[in-house]
Structure 1
Amino acid sequence: MSIQRLVKMTFKKDRCDDFQQYFTEIQNRIESQPGCEGVKLLKDHADSGIFFTYSVWKDQASIDAYRNTELFGQVWPKVKEWFDDKPEAWSTELIK
């Protein structure tokens, strides 16, 4: 069964456009990682500084492997500097 992963990130208001542009640049690279079945970017309707990534992974091993890639090692430190609050993440399974 695949894992649906949600990551909530709150960005400094002056970094939101930077993040959206950067996500556009890296989306295909993330989706091409082994076990990744797709990744989308969502934006909170009420708070323009809150974004979510929604990704689907084959299994936990695929997520763990991605976290150890050179790509993740470049992406996470860069966007982390733009955060205005601590990120939150959930790994979920589709029930219905």
Structure 2
Amino acid sequence: MSVVKINAITVPADSGDELAHRFAARAGAVDSQAGFEGFELLKPTDDRTTWLVVTRWRDEESFQAWLSSPSFGHGHRSAAERAGGEAPKPVSVHSELWSYEVAGGSAGQAN
């Protein structure tokens, strides 16, 4: 059964675009990881400042293998860091990792 990991990232109100930019810069970094099933970055549409990074994994072992892989460290470094430069200042002021397993749902279709 799939597991879902949600990283709830709180950013200052004016920093959301930078967060989205940083995620776009490393898009696809996790796609080839064994057991990875999907990723979404959810932007709040109200006055909240918490963005959600939702990933789906085949199982907990797949997620843990990614956390301890060189790909994880590489994917979480900025382009400047990968080129030997300084790390940019963090965008977030707080984050939490939430863990879930799929307990039900529907396949649904977009019309």
What TM-score results when the alignment is normalised by the length of structure 1? 0.80
- Which protein is bigger by CA-based radius of gyration? 2
RMSD: 2.4
Instruction: Kindly state the Cα deviation for residue 6 of structure 1 after the two structures are TM-superposed.
Output: 1.2
Instruction: Kindly state the Cα deviation for residue 9 of structure 1 after the two structures are TM-superposed.
Output: 0.3
Could you tell which deviates more after superposition, 68-77 or 16-25?
68-77
Amino acid corresponding to residue 91 of structure 2 in structure 1 = W
Contact residue 19 and residue 79 of structure 1 kept, 8 A: no
Distance 1:62 1:80 in 2: 30
Greater helix share, 1 or 2? 1
Q: How has the CA–CA distance of structure 1 residues 76 and 9 changed in structure 2, closer, same or farther, with 3 Å as cutoff?
A: farther
Moved over 4 A (4+): 76-80
Instruction: Look up the match of 1:65.
Output: 65
Q: How many residues align?
A: 95
What TM-score results when the alignment is normalised by the length of structure 2? 0.71
Amino acid corresponding to residue 26 of structure 2 in structure 1 = I
Give 5+ residue unaligned stretches, structure 2. 79-86, 105-111
Q: Say if 2:107 is the partner of 1:84.
A: no
